[in-house]
Amino acid sequence: MRIRALVFDFDGLILDTETPEFRAWQEVFAEYEKDIDLSTWTDYVGKASEEFDPHTYLESLVGRSLDRVEIRNKRRRRNRDLLVAEPILPGVEACLFHGKELSLRIGIASSSPKDWVVPHLDRLGLTHFFDCIKTKDDVHKCKPSPDLYLSAIHDLDVSPREAIAFEDSPNGALAAKAAGLFCVAIPNSITEGLAFEMADLRLSSLSDFTLSMILQRLERRA
């Protein structure tokens, strides 16, 4: 087995955007004396945002139409305040540095839009690590469809078995495996209770393992 490329998910893997988003929505639901439970939320993590609409779900619980513009603006302000305090997730930057030292090609495959992913990467000073950035804007179907990963490895000029996907959600892991990549699952606080049987390797954090250790484990498994 020769690995030539690494492909990273973004939300929840490089930056924990999912916890702030969930907390902001929880606060919105609480204003209407309703609750959104974690199991409902995690079912859609890693998919395109159109597949689950919290506004519609809240209206179904309340039983009437709500001012979506007001809710959206309030939720976005709260989410922004929570998000700016979030650091790069542990071990990510070291893994990127190590990947470059090994002359690996590095990409992103995200179900979020490009105008969400790229500004965050710029703000965090990570954009220069990536040879390609594939988002929902580049494909017809997002995760768990394999299209994002197939598009990424095409641009990186590698075969599926020459690439490792790093994912934090089962939907993302399904997409990576459907595309034929090795998959390392690193669940976050939102997805840690979910099953990742499809992944080749599951880690509690990227900070616990060097990239060389991950490569060795996958080589033994292969």
* Residues carrying an active site annotation: 9, 11
Segments of 1-93 assigned E as strands: 5-8
Pairing, β 163-167 against β 5-8: parallel
* 10 CA to centre of own chain: 4
164 Cβ neighbours under 8 A, 6+ residues apart = 3, 5, 6, 7, 181, 182, 183, 184, 214, 218
Burial class, 125, CB count within 10 angstroms (exposed 0-12 / middle 13-18 / buried 19+): exposed
Please give the structure tokens belonging to residue 133.
């950035």
Give one DSSP letter per residue of 98-125, joined into a string: HHHHTT-EEEEE-SS-HHHHHHHHHHHT
CB atoms closer than 10 angstroms to residue 13: 28
Angle at 20 between CA 14 and CA 23, to 5 degrees: 150
